Homo-oligomer: A and B are copies of this chain.
Amino acid sequence: MKNLFGSPGKVSGLVLRLGQCFFAASSLGVMAAAPGFSTATTFCYLIASMCLQLLWSFGLACFDVHALRSKRDLHNNIFVSLFVVGDWVTSTLTLAAASSSAGVTVLLIKDTNACRMERKFSCDMFQVSVGLAFVSWFLLAISSYVMFWLAATA
């Protein structure tokens, strides 16, 4: 069970965490660079949520590097319980942020034509940022379920 794909202290776990960092940072960067993002509260919430996910995933990636270098086993109950709670909270917040931003983007592009009528919005960048946030959430959801499986079978 300790050799499960994506478990902490394994190369696959590190790759998953680095992927989460990369997509969260990309989503954050694209949204922060998009003109007019501050008009909608939900885009600001996406930025805050991506910051939180970036910090969490980067912290766990550092943990994985430390465990791989020192060949230390991270599969004890305290670590796994902490990872389960943290992953669950961040994945829920990330999905909520990505979905709410997707809802607002669809409203601006399709329902109200605000993107065509007002030049201050950069709707293409909003779409790219939301897409990257969903990829980041998907990778985090995998980690989250692996951690929960490890906790349940500990």
Contacts and interface: CB of A to CB of B under 8 A. Distances in A.
A40 B107 CA distance: 6
A41 to B, nearest CB: 5
A103 to B, nearest CB: 3
Interface in A80-110: 92, 95-97, 99-104, 106-107, 110
* Number of this chain's copies in the complex: 2
A16 B45 CA distance: 31
B145 A111 contact: no
Contacts of A145: 148
A101 B104 CA distance: 9
A42 interface: yes
A96 B100 CA distance: 7
A39 interface: yes
